[in-house]
Amino acid sequence: MSLDILGLSVVETAGRNTFIITKIRRVLISLRTKYQRVDIVEFEEFGRGLILDGLIQSTEADEFIYHESLVHPALTTHPNPKEVLIIGGGEGATLREVLKHNTVKSAVMVDIDGELVELAKKYLDFMHKGSFYDPRTKLIISDGAEFIKKEGSSKYDVVVLDLTDPYGPEIARKLYSREFYEEVRRVLRDDGIMVTQAGSSFFYPRVYDYVLNNVKSVFSIVREYWVWVPAFAYACNFIIASNKYDPTLLTPEEVDSRLRSRSVKTLLYNGKYHKALFMTPILRNKFSKD
Amino acid sequence: MSLDILGLSVVETAGRNTFIITKIRRVLISLRTKYQRVDIVEFEEFGRGLILDGLIQSTEADEFIYHESLVHPALTTHPNPKEVLIIGGGEGATLREVLKHNTVKSAVMVDIDGELVELAKKYLDFMHKGSFYDPRTKLIISDGAEFIKKEGSSKYDVVVLDLTDPYGPEIARKLYSREFYEEVRRVLRDDGIMVTQAGSSFFYPRVYDYVLNNVKSVFSIVREYWVWVPAFAYACNFIIASNKYDPTLLTPEEVDSRLRSRSVKTLLYNGKYHKALFMTPILRNKFSKD
Amino acid sequence: MSLDILGLSVVETAGRNTFIITKIRRVLISLRTKYQRVDIVEFEEFGRGLILDGLIQSTEADEFIYHESLVHPALTTHPNPKEVLIIGGGEGATLREVLKHNTVKSAVMVDIDGELVELAKKYLDFMHKGSFYDPRTKLIISDGAEFIKKEGSSKYDVVVLDLTDPYGPEIARKLYSREFYEEVRRVLRDDGIMVTQAGSSFFYPRVYDYVLNNVKSVFSIVREYWVWVPAFAYACNFIIASNKYDPTLLTPEEVDSRLRSRSVKTLLYNGKYHKALFMTPILRNKFSKD
Amino acid sequence: MSLDILGLSVVETAGRNTFIITKIRRVLISLRTKYQRVDIVEFEEFGRGLILDGLIQSTEADEFIYHESLVHPALTTHPNPKEVLIIGGGEGATLREVLKHNTVKSAVMVDIDGELVELAKKYLDFMHKGSFYDPRTKLIISDGAEFIKKEGSSKYDVVVLDLTDPYGPEIARKLYSREFYEEVRRVLRDDGIMVTQAGSSFFYPRVYDYVLNNVKSVFSIVREYWVWVPAFAYACNFIIASNKYDPTLLTPEEVDSRLRSRSVKTLLYNGKYHKALFMTPILRNKFSKD
């Protein structure tokens, strides 16, 4: 176990009292956009990665875990997702996963930071894999909360919320409120599905429960799942909600059949994985002081 | 997200280039036994914890995740585990989980470090919960590799290996070798089952595959699973093996039925969880340099 | 340059954006007194050390640098220091240095934390070296600010303030105020001298200037000096003040002569060192954001 | 004392068991030259800085401490330095200080890494301040050890060695050997002076003594001094040597007079500072395990 720590790194946190230092081999670009600090780097052990306001968002080594787990449970649970709205997800990897479903006719992606999207196009092609140039993609540079207020009702089959943590930068907090989820329900069709990442239930159980309760106050079917994301050094939680469809009712065979018929190729997600996601209890740290 | 880092902490590693700093509130005991340095501490966010040679072994907040996941898949897969051998597991929590199965008539626990066991008895009662005093327990202070060589054949139904990492301190390395697994098979009955923790397949894929191949060279049915352990800041892998029983063939209902009939109470493990463990792909970091 | 970081350590700060992690070999005692958390440890590279509220106070490897530099410039500058008051300095090392001057008839040491003093007696004998048992010593367990208010006027030749940093724990802040320095002047004889540690002028220039200006508003002769303290990872500033004596006017020969006649033995401090202290400019970091 | 640690930083070491994490605001350029990794960054609290192979070399906030202390004791001690050789010092700040002495007719700077010098020209103008374009400057891109072997004898009045640490990257080690110092003596005139930085005598006393003894085996007058460099989090040692001149014999007035007559302007260095440098004992950590 020979160690190598000296040099550039990024310091992150899991909980209030745990810090993670991850070594960087090289910095590709480092600047401040109108909205946030952006660093695109090459990690020693994680390949390329995106860091926003000092927090690792995604890395080449493990982004498939996060992005496949965010997108496919919701899209697969919907029997025919045609219109999809993504809020956040500036790297384009969530968009990439959404577009894999050939039922999708239109993917509207709303990100507040146009400069970030341009940087992703230039430096993170393994994330977006050309998705920004797919004719089904409509990219809108706008505040997600502002956008959704002005959007017409019943327009979408699935809404995917790919945001910074609910206890993270101020900018994303309102996108976890009950008011915002009511707007999400409004722009969804009656049988629509939404999914959001929700930070860490283990390290921030009170914030997680705040988000969970907000979703429950708006949708009748609410399911929770989580996956370990190595570069985060913790597991990331997700909440999926609908007034019609329940992701836990799909059999592995139905999931695999839908993926096949929609020509979806994945590294991790499949019918068994879908089932496993919903069979694992949610963890809350009783020693947390969030 | 107010942070609190200053003061005592423990510095650990995940992979060669990621470091984790976890804050300690108070140190209860700090000494060197004949075999290793032992620190028993109270963490800010994880409750009490055991640190061996500077590496967190288990904490009050999350030890149930590790110990339930190590023990119950193997014990539940065996239809009638009566004689169980544990190698390692000085805190007594693995022993505690084994003894929950009321089929167990005898649990032999072999740990090299008698001083550690005494410290665990004194400071970590939430770990062992009196298991050291259970009449079914036989505690043997000995090197596990030496012990097993002298042990008679076909004596055990289940062998549980609760060791430090295969890329960790030298002392445990030989307990991941093919030669050692052959001894394990010899002391197991023909329908016996063994399970071992196996470090991190993500951060140390080559070492993991070395262990996996050693197990496969000795047993015909080998299954893999992993769980995220928050205080480790990474997921821990496990390998379960037998020449007779396959844990993936049990239905959730069978698992729950066995737990019920054996009066096993758990916080996390149940039939669904058992199934989920074997439905999640094994992760290997392609950027790892182990 | 082989590195060794894993295991217990203490995390400290220099400035707002620099963190120092120092490895601990073993913890001797770890508890909370009525006033503060106390950890007495053995460092890998600094010998035994005292940590208060998570901040290294002094270590066996380098405490002489801090304590000799705090005490001797003031005591040597006074031609005949007989009555000395120390506020703070719970380890007893400041007391040890004061008592080296055989002119001293009485050393009153006031520390708020009696439990800390008892721990120092037990675990840190290399710090106090029996000074607590010297017949000239009078130990008073009391809040320094309360004590000084009730103390008679013109009683002391030298007052030594050995406190936590002015930007550190709340408890010490009032001991850097103008009001407090007026009390110090009152208990000093007309030709008395006071000295205080003053944190880091480089990392906290505004706080340092606040303290400096408070001292200047009460004393007419105010001199500044600083020394690097390795275990702090930064240089510690000191302010010495009097209405009569100026430490910069002593020649090296006068300093050495006074040390000789008072039988003072030191590791570092002598006439040349005394002169050098006052010949080095004070550093303030223009990029500091304190 | 509000802290801010999350985000990009550089991890360094002082001694084998102390680590320093310094926050970076922004990375200006990050690349690998033929010889080393170069990162030029903007620190949160130190302004711009140069990092080579992961080690902070110099920062805007404190580089004057290092560079003035390296250059002026040697140049001022020489009564008429005309020909100066600098080995290392890629940022150009050592060159800048050398050229301040208007006696200097020629400053030959030899650095192995031409790409680094170009980056310094572009990003670190506060370091070199145009020195690379001074007509007295002759920049040679070459291995210092190779260069000096081929250089004629008795050509220089002063040789300044501005190298990475003697316990640092392999590349600089031979430039601390007895053989190399013999070459330095050969290229110096009989009354020439050399000065070298020498790492940390406190944290690496054995390596420091190795260097010191090498210098002593070649020169008859050898003097030692050290200064705290805040961004290094430790004090840096220097060794100055000659067969003719002794820097400790200069009075403060002589130093100031030479600086005045040569039109040298400094932030820190002056006659008093010069004297103080040689009046402070050299520190060696008795607990060091180097």
Task: Name the closest residue on chain D to residue A6, using Cα atoms.
Answer: D11
Contacts of B282 (CB under 8 A, 6+ apart): B201, B224, B226, B237
Is the ipTM here above 0.85?
yes
In a domain, A168, yes or no: yes
Tally of domains within chain A: 2
- Which residues span the domain enclosing C235? 63-277
CA distances from B23 to B31, B82, C54 (A): 19, 41, 10
Cα gap A132→D117, rounded to integer Å: 40
Is B203 found in the same domain as B76?
yes
Instruction: Give the whole-angstrom CA distance, residue D10 versus residue D22.
Output: 5
Is residue C289 domain-resident? no
**pLDDT tier for residue D234 given thresholds of 50, 70 and 90:** very high
- State which of A42, A57, A72 marks the end of a domain: A57
Q: What are B141-162's pLDDT values in tens digits?
A: 999 999 999 999 999 999 999 9
Question: CA A72, CA A78: separation in Å to the nearest integer?
Answer: 10
Residue C72 lies in a domain: yes
In a domain, A2, yes or no: no
How does strand C47-52 pair with strand B156-162? Answer: unpaired
Terminus-to-terminus CA distance in chain B, angstroms? 34
User: Is C168 part of a structural domain of the chain?
Assistant: yes
Dihedral sign from CA coordinates of B194, B199, B204, B207: negative
CATH, residue A15 = 2.30.140.10
In this structure, are D27 and D90 located in the same domain? no
Check whether residue C108 and residue C69 sit in a common domain: yes
Name every chain C residue with its beta carbon within 8 A of the beta carbon of A5: 3, 5
Catalytic residue among A157, A162, A190, A191: A162
Q: Kindly report, residue by residue over A230-280, the tens digit of the pLDDT.
A: 999 999 999 999 999 999 999 999 999 999 999 999 999 999 999 999 999
pLDDT greater than 60 at residue B1:
no
Rounded to whole angstroms, the Cα distance separating B222 from B204 reads: 19
Asked if residue C59 has pLDDT above 70, the reply is yes
- pLDDT tens for B182-197 read 999 999 999 999 999 9
Q: Closest CB to A230: pick one of B3, B234, B277.
A: B234
Vertex C288 angle, CA C285 and C290, to 5°: 130
Note the pLDDT of residue B3.
Answer: 67
Is the domain of C154 the same as that of C242?
A: yes
Say which CATH number the domain at C130 has: 3.40.50.150
| pLDDT level of residue C3 (50, 70, 90 thresholds) | low
Touching subunits for chain C (3+ Cβ pairs under 8 A): A, B, D
Beta bridge partners of A107: A84, A137
Between chains, do D20 and C16 touch, taking CB under 8 Å as contact? no
Q: Please choose, from the candidates B47, B50, B73, B45, the residue with its C-alpha nearest in 3D space to the C-alpha of residue B226.
A: B73
Subunit contact C51:B8, Cβ cutoff 8 A: yes
Question: How distant is the alpha carbon of residue D237 from its chain centre?
Answer: 10
Locate the DSSP E strands across chain C.
Answer: 7-14, 18-32, 37-43, 47-52, 55-59, 83-88, 106-111, 137-141, 156-162, 188-197, 221-229, 234-242
**Calpha distance A129→A97 (Å, rounded):** 10
One-letter identity of residue C247: P
Q: What is the pLDDT of residue A213?
A: 98
Q: Which residue of C has its CA nearest to B56?
A: C7
Whether A226 and A240 have beta carbons less than 8 Å apart is answered as: no
On chain B, the residues whose CB falls within 8 A of the CB of A268 are 281
Q: Are residues B188 and B137 in the same domain?
A: yes
Query: Do A127 and A95 fall within a single domain?
Result: yes
**What average pLDDT does range C110-122 have in this prediction?**
97
Q: Does A90 share its domain with A155?
A: yes
- Give the residue from C17, C35, C57 where a domain finishes: C57
Same domain, B205 and B247: yes
D4, D8, D12: best mutation site toward chain A, by most A Cβ within 10 Å?
D8
| Cβ–Cβ gap D6/A8 under 8 Å | no
Chain C residues with CB-CB distance to A3 below 8 A: 3, 5-6
Active site residues of C: 162
What's the mean pLDDT in A141-169? 94
Q: Which residues of C touch B (CB under 8 A)?
A: 5-13, 19, 21, 23-24, 26-28, 30-32, 37, 39, 51, 53-55
Contact D47 C287 (CB under 8 A): yes
Mean pLDDT of C12-27: 91
Residues of A in contact with B15 (CB under 8 A): 45
Contact B6 C55 (CB under 8 A): yes
- D11: chain A residues, CB-CB within 8 Å: 5-9, 21, 23
Pairwise CB contact (< 8 Å): B268 & A281: yes
Q: Give which of D259, D279, D261 is closest to D269, Cα–Cα.
A: D259
Residues A11, D26: C-beta atoms closer than 8 Å: no
Return the pLDDT at B4.
78
Neighbors of chain B by Cβ distance (3+ pairs < 8 Å): A, C, D
Q: What's this model's pTM, rounded to 2 decimal places?
A: 0.93
Asked if the model's pLDDT at residue C171 lies above 90, the reply is no
pLDDT of B244 strictly over 60 = yes
Give mean pLDDT, residues D189-197: 98
Nearest chain C residue to D272 by CA distance is C279
Side chain identity at residue A25, one-letter code: R
Q: Are residues A101 and A237 in the same domain?
A: yes
The pLDDT assigned to A72 comes to 98
Neighbour-count burial of B80, counting CB atoms closer than 10 A to its CB (0-12 exposed, 13-18 middle, 19+ buried): exposed
Q: Looking at the structure, do residues A166 and A23 belong to the same domain, yes or no?
A: no
Phi, psi of B126, deg, nearest 5: -70, -15
Q: Can you tell me the distance from the alpha carbon of C23 to that of C7, in angstroms, rounded to the nearest whole number?
A: 7
Segments in D59-176 forming alpha helices (H): 63-77, 93-99, 114-123, 125-128, 144-150, 170-173
pLDDT of residue D2: 59
Active site residue A125: no
User: Average pLDDT of chain B?
Assistant: 95
In a domain, B4, yes or no: no
**Measured between CA atoms, how close is B93 to chain A, in angstroms?**
19
Q: Which two tokens stand for residue B10?
A: 């423990």
**Sign of torsion over alpha carbons B53, C51, C207, C171:** positive
pLDDT for residue D1 is more than 60: no
- Distance, in Å, from the CA atom of B56 to the CA atom of B46, rounded to the nearest integer, reads 11
Which of A7, A13, A32 lies closest to D11 in CB terms? A7
> For B34-48, b where at least 16 C-beta lie within 10 A, e where not — what string?
ebbbbbbbbbbbbbb
Closest residue on chain D to B6 (Cα): D3
- Burial of B104 by CB count in 10 Å (0-12 exposed, 13-18 middle, 19+ buried)? buried
- Residue B2: predicted pLDDT: 58
- Nearest Cα neighbor of B62 from B109, B113, B127 is B127
Domain assignment present for B257: yes
Residue of B2, B6, B18 for testing the chain A interface, max A β-carbons within 10 Å: B18
Contacts of A202 in chain B (CB under 8 A): 230
How confident is the model over A163-182, as a mean pLDDT?
89
* A5/D27 touch (CB, cutoff 8 Å), yes or no: no
Tokens of A83: 């219109």
Output the DSSP codes for chain B.
Answer: ------EEEEEEEETTTEEEEEEEEEEEEEEE-SS-EEEEEEETTTEEEEEETTEEEEETTTHHHHHHHHHHHHHHHSSS--EEEEEE-TTSHHHHHHHTSTT-SEEEEEES-HHHHHHHHHH-HHHHTTGGG-TTEEEEES-HHHHHHHSPSS-EEEEEEE-S-TTS-GGGGGGGSHHHHHHHHHHEEEEEEEEEE---TTT-HHHHHHHHHHHHTT-SEEEEEEEEEGGGTEEEEEEEEESS--GGGS-HHHHHHHHHHTT---SS-SHHHHHHHTTSPPP--TT---
C-beta atoms of D233 and C228 within 8 A: no
Contact criterion met (CB < 8 Å) for C5 and A6 = no
Residue B290 lies in a domain: no
Q: Is pLDDT above 90 for C6?
A: no
Asked if C1 and D16 come within 8 Å (Cβ–Cβ), the reply is: yes
Looking at the fold, whether A25 and A148 belong to one and the same domain comes out as no
* The predicted structure's pLDDT at residue B255: 98
Residues of chain A in Cβ contact (below 8 Å) with chain C: 3, 5-6
Instruction: Please indicate, yes or no, whether residues B145 and B188 belong to a single structural domain of this protein.
Output: yes
Per-residue model confidence (pLDDT) at position B169 = 74
Catalytic residue among B62, B111, B162, B165: B162
Cα separation of the two ends of chain D: 34
